[in-house]
């Protein structure tokens, strides 16, 4: 904080040109807030790390399959969907669909979001379909994460 | 003239600081960004990234990427190296926090409709950053070489391998052979500490440059 105060004095106050947006200047006011938030987050991480240290189980053994095996929490939905989808479609086996849908198709759709949603409005009420689809996608991800934990 | 002023003048005469600094320093942060804490999520992810870089460098000093030594070196970090346990645990938690922050940041952008014209490409770069971040997590998960990381990677590479057409290649590139072993751990280590950091740096620069040029979406 004192560092910011010192540096502030070095930049002489000059008449500022009319600003594009209303708001507080990035430096030092906005940056100071950011530094406070950063300290809070860094502190929380250190606290979490000291209370719950990173786990280290037994050494890897290729001949001993443990149960249950969980992937990282952010991949659980893929895992869950693979277990959920048990139907072949024509010649395509269920496993291929179970893998492609949550990975290839899902990320493909995510990439294309701005090109699919051409509605220029960003007001909640004027983009009911986009918001509804977002809620459905979110609920789906949460459901398949839940599914992967329950149906292990 | 104080020392500070002398130092400032020295740099000002050489780099025209008085012209360069004001646009950065006086650039206003919009009101809605200040009042809504949801706008912190992207910055939180970036802070986690910085913490991960620093703790990761220290971990790389002690870590040995071979099947015989990986587990022992991590155990060494956790029990012998001063503060090693704290550094590894912070790395672990910052990684999880970063992925959560990136996902929540994406949800904010989606529900606020901030990806719309002219910010379409920044959304695409953002989704790439999410992919890179999860790949970071996936490659880092194997490195401790314990039961959980070994078998989770076995399932993960198996799932990636069953993607039609490209899956076989992805699996071969990741595993480096038929089964997870010495080739896999050096590959995952290289991906985790060399390939992905360079990739994410490029995408982060693009991401931030676009935010700077286009401004933060002030709608909603």
pLDDT digits (tens, 9 = 90+) for B14-70: 998 888 888 777 777 777 777 788 888 999 999 999 999 999 999 999 999 999 999
Of A9-18, B45-54, B201-210, the range with the lowest mean pLDDT is A9-18
Contact of A20 with chain B, judged by CB distance below 8 Å, is answered with: yes
When CB atoms are compared, the residue of B21, B75, B90 closest to A45 is: B90
- Tell me: ipTM over 0.95: no
**CA pair distance A18, A28, nearest whole angstrom:** 19
Give the range of the structural domain holding residue A105, as residue numbers without chain letter.
73-150
Across the interface, whether the CB atoms of B149 and A100 are under 8 A apart is answered no
Contact of A125 with chain B, judged by CB distance below 8 Å, is answered with: no
**CA pair distance B113, B220, nearest whole angstrom:** 8
Across the interface, whether the CB atoms of A24 and B111 are under 8 A apart is answered no
In this prediction, residue B218 has a pLDDT band, given cuts at 50, 70 and 90, of low
- What pLDDT is stored for residue B25 in this prediction? 76
Q: Which residues from A are below 8 Å from B160, CB to CB? A: 103
A78 and A45 within one domain: no
A80 and A45 within one domain: no
Distance from CA of A146 to the nearest CA of B (A): 17
Most B-contacting residue of A2, A59, A95 (CB-CB within 10 A), to test interface: A59
- Residue A10, SS3 per DSSP: helix
A-B Cβ pairs (cutoff 8 Å, strict): 208
CA B74 to chain centre: 21
Picking from B91, B54, B96, B61, the residue whose alpha carbon sits closest to that of residue B76 is: B61
- What pLDDT is stored for residue A132 in this prediction? 94
Examine residue A133 and state whether it is found in any structural domain, yes or no. Answer: yes
A77 and A40 within one domain: no
Return the top range by mean pLDDT from A10-19, A65-74, B67-76, B152-161: B67-76
When CB atoms are compared, the residue of A16, A26, A56 closest to B74 is: A56
Q: Which residues from A are below 8 Å from B66, CB to CB? A: none
B109, pLDDT greater than 90: yes
> Domain spanning B34-214: which superfamily?
Cytochrome Bc1 Complex; Chain C (1.20.810.10)
Examine residue A44 and state whether it is found in any structural domain, yes or no. Answer: yes
Q: Which residues from B are below 8 Å from A45, CB to CB? A: 48, 51, 90, 93-94, 97
- Residue A69, SS3 per DSSP: coil
A139, pLDDT greater than 60: yes
- Percent of chain A clearing pLDDT 70 (strictly above): 85
Q: What are the phi and psi torsion angles at B122 (to 5°)?
A: -70, -30
Q: Give tens-digit pLDDT for B114-167.
A: 999 889 999 999 999 999 999 999 999 999 999 999 999 998 898 888 888 888
Mean pLDDT value of segment A73-86: 90
Mean pLDDT value of segment A61-86: 88
A129 and A98 within one domain: yes
Examine residue A65 and state whether it is found in any structural domain, yes or no. Answer: no
**CA pair distance B191, B134, nearest whole angstrom:** 12
Examine residue A17 and state whether it is found in any structural domain, yes or no. Answer: yes
Across the interface, whether the CB atoms of A123 and B217 are under 8 A apart is answered no
**CA pair distance B65, A40, nearest whole angstrom:** 34
**CA pair distance B118, B53, nearest whole angstrom:** 32
User: Is omega for the bond preceding B161 within 30 degrees of 0, making it cis?
Assistant: no
When CB atoms are compared, the residue of A30, A66, A107 closest to B147 is: A66
Picking from B184, B209, B214, the residue whose alpha carbon sits closest to that of residue B115 is: B214
Picking from A34, A89, A140, A23, the residue whose alpha carbon sits closest to that of residue B218 is: A23
Residue reference for tokens 């039961």: B147
Examine residue A56 and state whether it is found in any structural domain, yes or no. Answer: no
A123 and A86 within one domain: yes
A84 and A116 within one domain: yes
Write out chain B in H/E/C secondary structure: CCHHHHHHHHHHHHHCHHHHHHHHHCCEEEHHHHHCHHHHHHHHHHHHHHHHHHHHHHHHHHCCCCCCCHHHHHHHHHHCCCCHHHHHHHHHHHHHHHHHHHHHHHHHHHHHCCCCCCCHHHHHHHHHHHHHHHHHHHHHHHCCCEHHHHHHHHHHHHHHHCCCCCHHHHHHHHHCCCCCCHHHHHHHHHHHHHHHHHHHHHHHHHHHHHHHHHCCCCCC
**Is residue A57 left, alpha or beta, with left meaning phi > 0 and alpha meaning psi from -120 to 50?**
beta
Mean pLDDT value of segment A124-142: 92
- Percent of chain A clearing pLDDT 90 (strictly above): 39
* Selected residues 121-140 of chain B with any CB under 8 Å from a CB in chain A: 123-124, 127, 130-131, 134, 137-138
Across the interface, whether the CB atoms of A57 and B148 are under 8 A apart is answered yes
Residue positions counted in chain B:
220
A115, pLDDT greater than 70: yes
A123 and A84 within one domain: yes
* Selected residues 7-46 of chain B with any CB under 8 Å from a CB in chain A: 8, 21-22, 24-31, 33-34, 40, 43-44
If one counts the domains in chain A, the total is: 2
B73, pLDDT greater than 90: yes
* Selected residues 177-196 of chain B with any CB under 8 Å from a CB in chain A: 179-180
- Residue A90, SS3 per DSSP: coil
Token pair recorded at residue B75: 């155990």
User: Closest chain B residue to A132 measured between Cα atoms?
Assistant: B111
Residue positions counted in chain A:
152
């Amino acid at each position: 904080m004192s560092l910011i105060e010192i540096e502030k004095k070095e930049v002489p106050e000059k008449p500022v040109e009319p600003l594009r947006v209303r708001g507080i200047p990035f430096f030092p006011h906005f940056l100071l807030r950011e530094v406070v938030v950063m300290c809070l987050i860094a502190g929380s991480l250190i606290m979490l790390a000291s209370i719950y240290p990173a786990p280290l189980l037994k050494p890897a053994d290729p001949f001993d399959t443990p149960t249950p095996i969980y992937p990282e929490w952010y991949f659980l939905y893929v895992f869950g969907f693979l277990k959920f989808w048990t139907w072949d479609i024509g010649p395509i086996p269920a496993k291929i669909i179970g893998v492609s849908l949550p990975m290839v198709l899902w990320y493909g759709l995510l990439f294309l979001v701005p090109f699919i949603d051409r509605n220029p409005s960003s007001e909640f009420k004027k983009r009911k379909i986009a918001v509804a689809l977002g809620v459905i996608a979110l609920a789906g991800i949460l459901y398949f994460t839940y599914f992967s934990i329950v149906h292990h | 003239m104080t020392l500070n002023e002398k130092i400032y003048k020295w740099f000002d005469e050489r780099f025209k600081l008085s012209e360069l600094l004001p646009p950065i320093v006086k650039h206003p942060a919009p009101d809605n960004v200040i009042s809504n804490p949801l706008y912190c999520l992207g910055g939180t992810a970036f802070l986690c990234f910085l913490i991960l870089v620093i703790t990761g460098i220290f971990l790389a000093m002690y870590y040995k990427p071979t099947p015989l030594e990986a587990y022992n070196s991590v155990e060494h970090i956790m029990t012998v190296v001063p503060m090693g346990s704290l550094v590894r645990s912070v790395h672990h938690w910052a990684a999880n926090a970063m992925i959560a922050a990136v996902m929540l940041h994406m949800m904010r952008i989606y529900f606020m409709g901030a990806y719309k014209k002219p910010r379409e490409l920044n959304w695409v770069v953002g989704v790439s950053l999410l992919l890179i971040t999860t790949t970071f997590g996936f490659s880092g998960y194997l490195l401790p070489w314990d039961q959980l990381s070994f078998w989770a990677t076995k399932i993960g590479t198996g799932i990636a391998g069953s993607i039609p057409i490209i899956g076989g290649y992805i699996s071969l590139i990741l595993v480096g052979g038929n089964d997870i072993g010495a080739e896999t751990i050096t590959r995952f280590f290289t991906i985790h500490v060399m390939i992905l950091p360079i990739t994410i740096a490029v995408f982060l620069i693009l991401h931030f440059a676009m935010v700077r040029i286009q401004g933060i979406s002030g709608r909603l």
